[in-house]
Structure 1
Amino acid sequence: MFDIFIKTHFAGAHHLRDYPGDCEHPHGHNWKIEVTVRATELDHLGMGIDFTILKRHVKEVIDTIDHCDLNKHEAFLVLNPSSEHIAMYIYDNLVKKLKHDRYSLYSVSVSETDNQGLIYYGNK
């Protein structure tokens, strides 16, 4: 098996509704994103998934949240735009696009800073 990943980022503002602290106030992050696809076999070129394909699909999803007030984004009108919900949003919008006989979406990592983040594996 091969875990193939790309790293990207996006900038956005948010606030966490009903949070008992500073994060309840509007603030921004430069979120770091890592998307991993797990391939069970390689194609005739020796690739699990072409990085170009992976980058294109990830960019399409990231572009929908980049430079937004996430609290005003349709996906987060009810859900708090926490890093966990952002990871779920990215995952859910990629899972069908990255489904193939040889590979599938494995995980989405979201980091608010260099020192804290999470990995979401979907509802498996």
Structure 2
Amino acid sequence: MTARYTMTIRTEFAAAHWLRDYDGPCNRLHGHNWKVDVEVDASGLDELGMGVDFGDIKAATREITDGLDHRNLNDLPPFDRLNPTAENIAAHLHGELSERLNDERVRVRAVTLWETDRACVRYTEDEPA
């Protein structure tokens, strides 16, 4: 059996958005203090005995979220054309993190984006065939 480790970090950012074509109050500009949980799988340990350094996961996540922090997401690519729903934001974060972190041993497993303390979306992708 192959060992698998899952490391998880949490960070946050504050940003505004509004939902295009939404029939309700979220079609007006409003903001959230978004929380982001990032789960990264490692199929083994490195020479130091780590799956992935938590600091590396945090740094990659902050690199992305710093560009979103205290901004109107509707003004930023890809959300200037893609509706900035929690689902689309989570998928975007997952894709950006995968580009930075994935290699032959490490894979971003999931991104959970908390819009409020009681509402979140978890984005994952199927295992490659």
User: Does the 8 Å contact 1:88/1:122 carry over to 2?
Assistant: no
Give TM-score, length-normalised by structure 2.
0.91
Give TM-score, length-normalised by structure 1.
0.94
Matched, 1:34 2:30: no
Aligned-partner residue type, residue 42 of structure 1: L
Distance 1:100 1:50 in 2: 14
Counterpart for residue 56 of structure 2 = 53
Distance 2:102 2:77 in 1: 25
Give unpaired runs (5+ residues) of structure 1: none
| Identity percentage of aligned residues | 41
Distance apart, 1:123 and its partner CA: 5.9
Which portions of structure 1, spanning 4 or more consecutive aligned residues, are displaced by more than 6 angstroms? none
Distance apart, 1:113 and its partner CA: 0.7
How does 1:12-23 map onto structure 2 within 5 Å? 12-23=15-26
Give unpaired runs (5+ residues) of structure 2: none
Identify which of 41, 63, 67 aligns with 2:70: 67
Identify which of 107, 110, 116 aligns with 1:104: 107
Distance 1:78 1:70 in 2: 10
Counterpart for residue 79 of structure 1 = 82
Root mean square deviation of aligned Cα: 1.2
Aligned residues: 124
